[in-house]
Amino acid sequence: MPVSHAFVIVLAGFGAGAINAVVGSGTLITFPTLVALGYPPVTSTMSNAVGLVAGSTTGTWGYRRELRGQWNRLRWQLPASLAGAGLGAWLLLHLPEQVFADVVPVLLIAALILVVIGPWIQTWARERAEREGRSAHHVSPRRMAALVASTFAIGVYGGYFTAAQGILLVGAMGALLPESVQRMNAAKNLATLLVNIVAALAYTLVAFDRISWQVAGLIATGSLIGGWLGAHYGRRLSPYALRTAIVVVGLIGLYRLLTV
């Protein structure tokens, strides 16, 4: 591998790790980069998933404080993410990549809309709860079921094609939960970490020879640092700034998906 290619891959991994910690969709940097350098799409997807585990780990650790008080809900969400990731990884090994690639732009647009209108949905839900004499932080069984189902579906998508799964998850949680965007971001980081681990293990066990381990190592090196820095600075952003960052990165990612 040329030194210039190695440098570009490390740099892409750094950017992906930072963006994943703050927003999600870092794969929209690394995946097109690998394809542009001549790696086959499936090899790029698998190598990228393995490499980004490092960045997801440091990003999740950086947001550990915001995870406090969420475990009653996460004990339902996280198994859904794990199950969905396993199914998604299986689909990648058995279905044409184009199947999911065709619906990615639609899902991303829907997620960005949910991110934008999330505060209004939360305000409506809070006012309704107050009128009915319930706690504003109460999550009804119906909404919890919808959240778990959404988390499972996003886990399937993440196990198959990791790009923008974080934006999808924040969008779903924003529509269903009375949580701040920073706390939802922390939950998103943990859930996507688990998805990436499951996908990476599945690819390693079933398709070891289809992974470029040199590429995966370079992405891991960059994303490890990027994830830590992204979490360090991202958790200082105001809710408005964080939502703006999510929308801007999502729109850029949408453009890249439609043009690569």
Type of residue found at 120: W
Name the helix (H) or strand (E) containing 95: none
Please state, in angstroms and rounded to a whole number, the distance separating the CA atoms of residues 156 and 145.
17
Q: What is the mean pLDDT of residues 227-241?
A: 75
Please state, in angstroms and rounded to a whole number, the distance separating the CA atoms of residues 123 and 33.
40
Task: Compute the radius of gyration of the chain from its Cα atoms.
Answer: 18
CA atoms lying within 13 Å on the CB side of residue 138: 13
Type of residue found at 108: L
Spatial neighbors of 242 by CB under 8 A, at least 6 apart, are 22, 23, 181, 182, 185, 234
What are the pLDDT digits (tens) for 175-201? Answer: 777 777 778 888 888 998 888 898 888
What are the pLDDT digits (tens) for 12-33? Answer: 899 888 888 877 767 777 877 8
What are the pLDDT digits (tens) for 206-220? Answer: 878 888 899 999 999
pLDDT score recorded for residue 174: 75
pLDDT score recorded for residue 253: 64
> What torsion do the CA atoms of 89, 42, 60, 247 make, to the nearest 10 degrees?
-110
Which of the four pLDDT bands, split at 50, 70 and 90, describes residue 83?
very high
| Residue ranges per structural domain of the chain | 3-258
Q: Which of 1-5, 112-116, 130-134, 243-247 has the lowest mean pLDDT?
A: 130-134
Q: What is the mean pLDDT of residues 129-150?
A: 69
Task: Check residue 164 and report its DSSP letter.
Answer: T
Backbone angles phi, psi at 2, to 5 degrees: -60, 150
pLDDT score recorded for residue 103: 67
Please state, in angstroms and rounded to a whole number, the distance separating the CA atoms of residues 25 and 168.
9
